[in-house]
Amino acid sequence: MRIATGRRWEGAPSPRPIPRPVRLSVAAAAAVLLLSACQDPAGVGLGLIDEEQLNPNVRTVPVTALAETADTTIAIGIAATSTSGAIQTRVLAGRVADPVFGDARAVAYVDLLQSSALDSGAEPGDVVDAWLELDRVYAYGDTTTALPLELREVQGDWEVDTSYPADTLFATGDVLSTTTIVASDTLRRFDLPDAWVTANAGLLVGDDFDDDFEGFAIDVPASFVAAPGVVFGFNTFASEGSGLRVVVDEDTLLFPLSEVFTSIATDPPTMAPAGTLGLRAGSGAAIRFDADFSSIGPTPLARARVRLPVDASLARDGAFVRPIADRSFLYGVRTVDGEETRTLLSDNVLYDGDDELTVVATGTLTSQVQSLLLDPSEAFERYEVRPVAGIASLNIYPLVLPESQPEAGPRFTLTLVGSAPE
Amino acid sequence: MRLSALLLALVVSTGVHAQGQNNYGSIYSLYGLGERVEFGSSQSAALGHAATALRSGTYVNLSNPALWSDQGITTFSAGASLATVRGEDALTDESSIGTAGDLSSLHLGIPILPARLGLTLAYRPFSRVNYRAAIEDSISVEGDMAPYTLNQEGAGGLQQLSAGLGGKVGSFLQLGASADVLFGSQELLQRTDFDDNAFLETRQARVTRLRGITATLGAAVTARNLATDDDALTVAASVRLPASLDGSRTVTLGESLDRDTLRAPDGSLSVDGDVTIPLAVRGGVAYLSGLRWLAALDASYEPWSGFESTLPVGGYDPASGLDLLSDRFRVGGGVEVTPAGRDRRAPVLQRSSYRIGGYAERGLYAPAGEDVTTLALTGGVSVPNRLTGARFDLGLEVGTRGSAEGVLVRDTFFKGTLTLNFGERWFVRRRFD
């Protein structure tokens, strides 16, 4: 048995070129097939399609058991601004009387770093003057108050440590400087006495400044009576102007803030608002709630959104302001192998400036809710809303309780596509 | 041989490339297991798909296994097609255009006893699902309007693998039989896309996998020298037996490799079922005058009103009693002219074959109780290659399906096919001096 190979023998004529009709046919066919256009079909044939089960629809899942829960994860201690994981971008100082959300007192502690622009040959005699400047960016309380503040030097060591209680107070020396600040002020200056400058000139230009100097405390005078008073917040970034100014020869050097800490002491409210879960963000408390998705079933989900109505009227009472927490985190909590685990569902629970807290970037939340719709065993035991760490504030969560607003109360809003398949 | 290889590569690559197009066709492919695909040979495709009685020493006619006994040389063919469908209906002023490509057939024919007993192995599509309907609307989400586009897309279909024998009994009777494996999947995708990026696109797919085996029986009778010394009249018939397919259906959510399988109400990941495809009966007659011209006529019948399935498919739901499927009828015919017959010394244009035909078909679906009729013209040219024994067939089909009345859609379709057929004499006994 032999398979014909088609081998040419010597003397055989050379193969003729491909006939023109064949070439043209191939070229035409290739052009037709390869260059055929295609357009997206329009709404033709819809009368033949059973589209009822495909329609997007909106379902709401009410939030239940809205309450306060302990928050033990907030960094309530000291942070070094160079450590991004524990950064504190703001310090608070002042005192306010607030029967609705509770009285509060804040003391700011700021340590400093020697300026990197300091001439290595600088002598103590070159130090001419020094003052502390802080950039005011926040107010809680009566914005017409002229708040007196005292500057003292911190005595004793204090370290970056997240285990300090929120109301820890450090030992301080005598008053070095005083100033009065109002809500219209931005950059506020604490002039240091000439005697202090002279006594500390060697430290300011020496090699051991970062280790030996423990910073300043900013507090209201003991005689100050909050009626109702105010608490101001100051930005900790040198780029915003906060820091110690030291005049060396003819140069004004900036010593930026390093470790910062705000001691906050609060009292319970005496006139809690009715129908509202009044919490102060960052007070060691967070919001918790439940939601039951079992009635939805395994359905395609286009978007899941959390909507928590707030009583915005509590944010301002004439000149008295209470900023609503403008950004929070949403977590889902479930128990895995006997331990509670928190899953971040959104890092953008924002106050919309009107009447609710809501998740803006919904991608992660939608994916997580889709998972638990498909597999109910993935459901969370509860949900928690926590304020953003790293920004000291007295912000409030004036959440409307479900029973106070049965219509459009706190809820999940789900945009589903179709219904669960049968 | 190099030309054949080049042409074969062009055909196969074109088929593969065509499958990468948007692959949308007629909305009617949502019914049953998809639009039925007819392909006997590239010759019959240009003759109104009149294949049952179309004998040929060059082409292997896949519609009737009895004709496989005509093989004298080992033959191979590969074909690709590309179809454009324009749809219009009375419910919208718009029209839709879809393009779908496919590998139309592959076959290998081996003459066990040349011109007496032949073996054929073949692949071709049995049905195709390739539609898309798009709805643009918007929904109010607690007072905010969210525009979206809802797409319902169908893809897939059944493939047919055949293996069989055709033999000549006596001088005028041919009999044949083949085993046909039907397999494939049908995917119905519901995809919703919102204009606002805050909404995720949802994709829910219902995938049904089917497989089963059936058989085709064929017979042909030929009378010669009727009007002239070199004419022949063939009357033939074939029957594809009813097929019972095993099915498995899953519903998934998500896309590509990140799909979640939705559980059925009983907690299982899939639902099993059975699908019964009705038989198909074909009859035809062909008249060959010398080697210069021939005419063929064909009729087929498939009683899809007898379709049964425990799984819902388009237009059929055993739970609700929905049944929009009806019996399918087709009548087609055509004429072929080869001016130079088999004179290998004639110019190419004289040795090429020219074909024209047409067919009429009543579809296997009757939406809203209305029959859907297809009327089409077919045509083509077959160009020989003298040195390699190959024939390069280009076929065209243009027609309309349905009407733009009520809920029906009128399709205007244009289809091109490209097929390479070539044969060689294999298994030649060595001769010694």
**Tell me, what's the ipTM?**
0.74
Q: Give A106-158 pLDDT, tens digit per residue.
A: 999 999 999 999 998 999 999 999 999 999 999 999 999 999 999 999 998 88
- Asked if B262 and A36 come within 8 Å (Cβ–Cβ), the reply is no
Q: From the list B194, B251, B425, which residue is nearest A4 (CB)?
A: B425
Q: Say whether residue B30 is in contact with chain A using an 8 A CB cutoff.
A: yes
Is residue B432 a part of any domain in this protein?
no
- Asked if B18 and A43 come within 8 Å (Cβ–Cβ), the reply is no
With 0-12 CB in 10 A as exposed, 13-18 as middle and 19+ as buried, what is A419? middle
Reported residue count of chain B is: 433
**Residue A158's pLDDT is what?**
83
**Residue B349's pLDDT is what?**
87
With 0-12 CB in 10 A as exposed, 13-18 as middle and 19+ as buried, what is B264? middle
Q: Measured between CA atoms, how close is B429 to chain A, in angstroms?
A: 5
What's the longest Cα–Cα distance across chain B? 96
What are the DSSP E strand ranges found in B242-389?
243-253, 260-262, 271-277, 280-289, 293-302, 308-309, 316-317, 322-323, 328-337, 353-362, 373-384
Q: Measured between CA atoms, how close is A370 to chain B, in angstroms?
A: 10
Task: Tell which of B74, B93, B142 to mutate to test the A interface (max A CBs under 10 Å).
Answer: B142
Task: Tell which of A2, A20, A44 to mutate to test the B interface (max B CBs under 10 Å).
Answer: A44
| pLDDT averaged over every residue in chain A | 84
Residues 6+ apart with CB under 8 A from A294: A376, A379
**Residue A239's pLDDT is what?**
86
Is residue B430 a part of any domain in this protein?
no
Higher-pLDDT residue of B390 and B416 is: B416
Question: Is pLDDT of A16 > 60?
Answer: no
Task: Tell which of B88, B102, B151, B253 to mutate to test the A interface (max A CBs under 10 Å).
Answer: B253
| pLDDT averaged over every residue in chain B | 88
**Residue A187's pLDDT is what?**
85
Question: Is pLDDT of A194 > 60?
Answer: yes
* SS3 assignment, position A83: coil
Is residue B182 a part of any domain in this protein?
yes
Q: Give B311-339 pLDDT, tens digit per residue.
A: 989 889 888 888 999 999 999 999 999 99
Question: Predicted confidence band at A161 (pLDDT cuts at 50, 70, 90)?
Answer: low
- Asked if A51 and B367 come within 8 Å (Cβ–Cβ), the reply is no
- Asked if A32 and B82 come within 8 Å (Cβ–Cβ), the reply is yes
Determine contact, residues B341/B307, Cβ cutoff 8 Å: no
Cα A383 to Cα A364, A411, B194, distances in angstroms: 14, 12, 28
Q: Say whether residue B333 is in contact with chain A using an 8 A CB cutoff.
A: no
Q: Give A264-310 pLDDT, tens digit per residue.
A: 998 988 988 888 888 888 767 789 999 999 999 888 999 999 999 99
Amino acid at B180: D
Q: Measured between CA atoms, how close is A349 to chain B, in angstroms?
A: 14
Amino acid at B223: A
Question: Predicted confidence band at A53 (pLDDT cuts at 50, 70, 90)?
Answer: low
Tell me the two tokens of residue A330. Answer: 């949403």
Q: Measured between CA atoms, how close is A303 to chain B, in angstroms?
A: 5
Task: Tell which of B31, B204, B269, B345 to mutate to test the A interface (max A CBs under 10 Å).
Answer: B204
Determine contact, residues B77/B7, Cβ cutoff 8 Å: no
Closest Cα in chain B to A303? B199
- Asked if A374 and B260 come within 8 Å (Cβ–Cβ), the reply is yes
The number of folded domains in chain B is 1
Handedness of CA B25, B31, B32, B35 (dihedral sign): negative
B367 chain-A contacts, CB cut-off 8 A: 48
Is residue B83 a part of any domain in this protein?
yes
Average pLDDT over residues B55-68: 92
Q: How far apart are CA A310 and CA A404, in angstroms?
A: 11
Closest Cα in chain B to A370? B253
Select the highest-mean-pLDDT range: A366-375, B174-183, B379-388: B174-183
Q: Measured between CA atoms, how close is B254 to chain A, in angstroms?
A: 9
Q: Where are the domains of chain A?
A: 54-68+282-417, 76-266
Percent of chain B's residues with pLDDT above 70: 89
Pick left, alpha or beta for residue A31 (phi over 0 → left; psi -120 to 50 → alpha; otherwise beta). alpha
CATH number for the domain that contains residue B335: 2.40.160.60
Weakest mean pLDDT among A358-367, B33-42, B173-182, B320-329? A358-367
Percent of chain B's residues with pLDDT above 90: 60
B407 chain-A contacts, CB cut-off 8 A: 47-48
**Residue A324's pLDDT is what?**
94
Q: How far apart are CA A173 and CA A150, in angstroms?
A: 11
Q: From the list B98, B265, B352, which residue is nearest A41 (CB)?
A: B98
CA B77-A34-A17 angle, to 5 degrees, is 60
Q: Measured between CA atoms, how close is B265 to chain A, in angstroms?
A: 7
Q: To which H or E segment does residue B231 belong? A: strand B231-240
Q: How far apart are CA B368 and CA A50, in angstroms?
A: 13
Q: To which H or E segment does residue A240 belong? A: none
Average pLDDT over residues A307-319: 93
DSSP state of B241: P
Question: Is pLDDT of B183 > 50?
Answer: yes
**Residue B24's pLDDT is what?**
82
Determine contact, residues A270/A219, Cβ cutoff 8 Å: no
Question: Predicted confidence band at B7 (pLDDT cuts at 50, 70, 90)?
Answer: low
Residues 6+ apart with CB under 8 A from B18: A33, B80, B81, B82, B100, B101, B102
